[in-house]
Chains A and B, each alone.
Chain A
């Protein structure tokens, strides 16, 4: 880990707690990069509870899955589903009727090594939890993205995961904070980005606001990044750009800062100004 290998960068997207937005992040960051022209593969390792195919809108195109690939029932090429909308994007589907412990870390690693040469980035959609599924998902990765929500139980789990990634030798661990609501932060009812940075102490890769359009795009099987009106789309595009090394400034998160308070006080005192 850490050292750059030939070919694709392998990035695992993980969280500990379930439902915080791993799959949404994988789907959107990968399509965003594919749209930029990078060759992208996404690997769904949430075996038994797969969702990535649905979120990407590729569920009807799935023929084989990763377990069948490992068991030799198909070739890698047959198992990879190509996205017609984004020719640069391929997905390796999870199996729905199997279990996470039916595959071993070494087998995942082998598949990844086979894929490296053909792609620029490989994203691994990790299942929730810290068991076998997590171990399978991190084995082949060079970098990790930890997704969390501004909510104490998600932060606690993120911290546990960061600790486990560090023990596994990861040096490149980046944070994505999903579903932030600046109004609530302002009111003092939600952890802010600064708060999360203070607790977790890892590099910040992205901040994705709460956005109802995420659900709407999930309903349709269209990645949210295709929706120009979505604030979440901008955030995911920024994450993708930052992964390629572009420096994109973070909007100021200092909603609750001293100067804002003064400004707000001014507004309250002189409401008609």
Chain B
């Protein structure tokens, strides 16, 4: 209920403030790790390639950054096909 209310009142989701935050989140992660959006794509492709050499992948693999404080980590989520 509270969540619903919160969402209702969360205001303009496309406010320039929100856009600034979204853009900053990305650019700071790339700045800090000296990576680019392009590199992420390459990484994702290569990781999937290596994994699928050994196990069968199912669904949508994801490779994203997670930030903890000023540190970043790669979050690799690759669903595997079950028998």
Selected contact of A152 from candidates B15, B23, B70, CB within 8 Å? B23
Give bound CA distance, A102 to B44, whole Å. 48
Q: Is the CB of A191 within 8 A of B31?
A: no
A258 CB–B CB distance under 8 Å: yes
Whether A261 pairs with B11 at a CB distance below 8 angstroms is: yes
A187 to chain B: closest CB distance in Å?
A: 8
User: A201 to B70, Cβ gap below 8 A?
Assistant: yes
Chain A residues whose CB sits within 8 angstroms of the CB of B70 once the complex forms: 162-163, 166, 200-202
> CA of A187 to CA of B12 in the docked complex: distance in angstroms?
9
Please tell me if the beta carbons of B15 and A189 are within 8 angstroms of each other in the complex.
yes
Q: How many A-B residue pairs have CB under 8 A?
A: 57
A156 and B20 form a contact (CB under 8 A): no
A147-187 interface bits toward B, Cβ cutoff 8 Å, 1 = contact, 0 = none: 00000100110011011001000000000000000000101
* Interface size band for A: 20 to 34
Contact between chains at B17 and A192 (CB < 8 Å): yes
Query: With an 8 A cutoff between CB atoms, is B81 at the interface?
Result: no
- Interchain CB contact (< 8 A) of A195 among B9, B21, B32: B21
A269 in the interface (beta carbon within 8 A): no
| Docked CA distance A265–B15 (Å) | 18
CB distance from B11 to the nearest CB of A (A): 6
Is A190 in contact with chain B by the CB < 8 A criterion?
yes
Residues of A close to B18: CB separation below 8 A:
188
18 A-B pairs whose Cβ atoms sit less than 8 Å apart in the complex = A152-B27, A155-B24, A155-B28, A156-B27, A159-B31, A163-B32, A188-B11, A188-B16, A188-B17, A189-B15, A191-B17, A191-B20, A195-B21, A195-B24, A199-B21, A256-B11, A258-B5, A262-B9
B interface, CB within 8 angstroms of A: 5-6, 9, 11-12, 15-18, 20-21, 23-25, 27-28, 31-32, 69-70
Interface residues of A (CB under 8 A from B): 152, 155-156, 159-160, 162-163, 166, 185, 187-192, 195, 198-202, 256, 258, 261-262, 265
Given contact pairs A156-B24, A156-B28, A188-B11, enumerate 6 new A-B contacts (beta carbons under 8 Å). Answer: A159-B32, A163-B70, A188-B18, A195-B17, A195-B20, A262-B9
